[in-house]
Structure 1
Amino acid sequence: MSEPKDLSGLNWIRATDDPDPDAECIEIAAGEGDLVHLRQSGDPDNVVTTTQAKWDAFVLGVQNDEFDHFVADVDTGPDGMR
């Protein structure tokens, strides 16, 4: 197993529209080279790393509704938000 990299200097972007700074959310950061890092704000030491190409494919899949079946049973309010 390789040594964990120091990710403390990364610019983490919170993926939430919740105004509460302590709200649980996903955070994303661009790393060295073509790496993209993801973590949950409540568990910042547990980081998943992928490549920019795989991240781009995932984002395009979300934009093309390819993952809608994961939220088919989620109740939304009148404005379409949870």
Structure 2
Amino acid sequence: MNTSNPADRERVAWHISTYSPNAGGNCVEAGPLADGTERVAVRHSHHPDAEVIVYTRAEWEAFLAGVRNNEFDFFS
């Protein structure tokens, strides 16, 4: 994925969590790339044309495991 190419960004199936405040507030969007590489793109919902970070499947799974294990619960 060329993260600066708008056409590539449009091919990502972007998702916003249902836990996001105000249904579309300051949120992170994530979605699988459509190129069959098992990578996930992440961006800020208010700045869809800004930088996109792309993670491998292993990186994404490690992050999700950490979330499920409360490793990123910084404010409680």
Smaller-chain TM-score bracket:
0.7 to 0.9
Unpaired runs of 5+ residues, structure 2, are none
1:67 pairs, out of 60, 64, 72, with 72
Unpaired runs of 5+ residues, structure 1, are 73-82
Per-residue deviation at 1:34?
Answer: 1.7
2:11 pairs, out of 6, 9, 12, with 9
- Matched with 2:39 is 35
Per-residue deviation at 1:24?
Answer: 2.0
Aligned equivalents of 1:35, 1:13: Cα separation in 2: 14
Work out which of the two has the higher radius of gyration on C-alpha atoms and give 1 or 2: 1
TM-score normalized by structure 2? 0.73
Per-residue deviation at 1:17?
Answer: 2.9
Paired letter, 1:10: V
CA RMSD of aligned residues (A): 2.3
Tell me whether 48-57 or 14-23 shows the greater mean CA deviation.
Answer: 14-23
Question: If each structure's strand is expressed as a fraction of its own residues, which one has the higher value?
Answer: 1
Is the CA contact 1:16–1:26 (under 8 Å) kept in the aligned structure 2? no
Change (3 A) 1:53 1:27: same
Larger RCO: 1 or 2 (CA < 8 Å, sep 6+)? 2
- Matched with 2:54 is 49
Is the CA contact 2:16–2:24 (under 8 Å) kept in the aligned structure 1? no
Aligned equivalents of 1:65, 1:19: Cα separation in 2: 20
